[in-house]
Amino acid sequence: MKTKFIHLLLLAFACCVTVLCQAQNDTSRTATCSKGICTCGNDPSPAGLMISHTHSVNEWMLSYRFMSADAQDLIAGGNTSASSEVLNRYASVPEHMKMQMHMLMAMYGISERFTFMAMLNYNQMNMQMAMQFGNEIHHHHMRSSGVGDSKFYLLYAPVKTETWEYLLFGGVSMPTGSIRKKGEPQSMIYSNARMPYGMQNGSGSWEVLPGLNIRHQKNDLTFCYQSSAILRLNSNSLGYRLGNEFYHTAWAAWQWCSKVSNSIRVDANYVQGLRGRDQQLQTIVEPQANTLNYGGTKTSAYFGLNFHFKKAALERHLFSAEFGLPVFQKVNGLQLKSKSTLFINWSVTI
Ligand SMILES: [Cu+2]
């Protein structure tokens, strides 16, 4: 049954690519590009990748990206942990978390080698918790939303040809996101009290964001490797500092025709533990209030689809989506297990 389903899925996918690609005359992907790897609407970069290219002089790109990440079931280290056992140690346990992010991004080509980029985002977090009352388990929700930290980058491409692009980038993250979000008045825990580190909209710290991107495009195939980091410079005004984060990602994309491309991507990241603590948080309330339950390593695999509109009015628009599943996770202490991540992106080059 499962094999039949996979065959049907592959058949449906092949039909979609055929229909989307048919009746097109333009097979040149670089027809509208001036110099370097094409980024004008035909970019095969996966939707989850924030940085992947530079722009031509005076060229603008505006984009909106939506991310939805789900986490469920507790793990201790790399192993599943039962909620009943955790309730012996904490008053409440997290069961499910949905984090959604709306990101607005602008890129501008200062010169053929330098591109400026700014990114603003709005976060929404919803966490379902379980609490024990006698023999009964009660479920309730914690919510938090607001503007996140704002990021500004300068991208430099020392090598930029039609087949290769070497990209060095550096950014700064301003702590515009709140670290003082309180629970709703009717909330079972954190009622009008500050919520834990993971439910806050920002880090409260200034951050440096270095990275390197190497991209090779050969006919219809694109390969790319990227290494980047979030380095937190200071403890925030509440006396803690989230861990530094390190990312490695590699992807390959195949351009079926000038309209459609697919990508596969592997992403590995390492997040250091949290230092310091917010004095208002009581460690025994729930695992998220305990600073030992932050950081870890995770590897995920993604599948992506990019669609480039060929109608004249939408020629410089790109729509892309990417879906990922974790293949390996090992966390510090006790945390919710990551289940899936979805990215949807729309961009226009002006
Ligand atoms: Cu761009």
Confidence of residue 34 (pLDDT cuts 50, 70, 90): very low
Dist. CA 250 → ligand 1 center (Å): 18
User: pLDDT per residue over 166-194, tens digit each?
Assistant: 999 999 999 999 999 999 888 888 889 99
Least confident of 35-39, 68-72, 209-213, 248-252: 35-39
Ligand 1 geometric centre to CA of 54 (Å): 6
In the reported structure, the alpha carbon of residue 335 is separated from the centroid of ligand 1 by a whole-number distance in angstroms of 35
Q: Is the pLDDT of residue 29 over 60?
A: no
The DSSP secondary structure of 266-295, one letter per residue, reads EEEEEEPPPEE--TT--TTT-GGGSGGG--
For residue 87, pLDDT over 80 is answered with: no
**Is the confidence at residue 32, as pLDDT, over 70?**
no
Q: How far is the CA of 44 from the centre of ligand 1 (A)?
A: 12
Question: 258 alpha carbon to ligand 1 midpoint, in Å?
Answer: 18
Calculate mean pLDDT across residues 123-135.
Answer: 89
Average pLDDT of 33-56?
76
pLDDT tier, 30 (very low <50, low <70, confident <90, very high otherwise): very low
CA of 298 to the centre of ligand 1 (A): 27
Task: Give CA–CA dist 198/47, Å, rounded.
Answer: 24
User: What's the confidence (pLDDT) of residue 27?
Assistant: 41
Contacts of 233 (CB under 8 A, 6+ apart): 205, 206, 207, 208
Distances (CA, A) of 285 to 82, 130, 212, 267: 17, 12, 41, 33
On whether the CB atoms of residues 273 and 245 are closer than 8 A, the answer is: no
pLDDT greater than 60 at residue 97:
yes
Ligand 1 center–CA 116 separation, angstroms: 10
pLDDT in tens, 48-61: 999 999 999 999 99
pLDDT at 79 over 50: yes
Q: What is the mean pLDDT of residues 122-148?
A: 90
Span 64-87, mean pLDDT? 85
The residue among 283 and 310 whose pLDDT is bigger is: 283
pLDDT of residue 290: 93
CA 11 to chain CA centroid, Å, is 30
E strand intervals along the chain: 60-76, 79-81, 92-109, 114-133, 136-147, 150-160, 164-174, 207-208, 211-218, 221-232, 240-241, 245-255, 260-271, 275-276, 296-308, 317-331, 334-349
Provide, rounded to the nearest whole percent, the portion of the chain with pLDDT above 90: 66
pLDDT band for 25, please (50, 70, 90 cuts).
very low
Indicate if the pLDDT at residue 22 is higher than 60. no
Q: How far apart are CA 232 and CA 282, in angstroms?
A: 24
- For residue 233, report the distance from its CA to the centre of ligand 1, in Å: 28
How far is ligand 1, taken at its centre, from the CA of residue 53, in Å?
Answer: 6
Query: Could you report the per-residue pLDDT of 187-200, keeping only the tens digit for each?
Result: 888 889 999 999 99
Helix (H, G, I), strand (E, B) or coil at 19: helix
Q: What percent of the chain has pLDDT over 70?
A: 86
The pTM score is 0.88
User: pLDDT-derived band of residue 11, with 50, 70 and 90 as boundaries?
Assistant: low
CA of 130 to the centre of ligand 1 (A): 43
Structure tokens at 183: 């629970």
Please give the Cα distance from 169 to 155 (Å, whole number). Answer: 4
Of 289, 259, 264, 295, the closest CA to residue 277 belongs to 289
At residue 80, the pLDDT reads 74
Q: Which DSSP category does 183 fall into?
A: B
Predicted confidence at residue 132, as pLDDT, reads 82
> With left for phi above 0 and alpha for psi between -120 and 50, is residue 147 left, alpha or beta?
beta
What pLDDT is attached to residue 33? 47
Distance 48 CA to ligand 1 centre (A): 13
What is the CA(71)–ligand 1 centre distance, in A? Answer: 30
pLDDT at 344 over 80: yes
Please give the distance, rounded to the nearest whole angstrom, from the Cα atom of residue 273 to the centre of ligand 1: 33
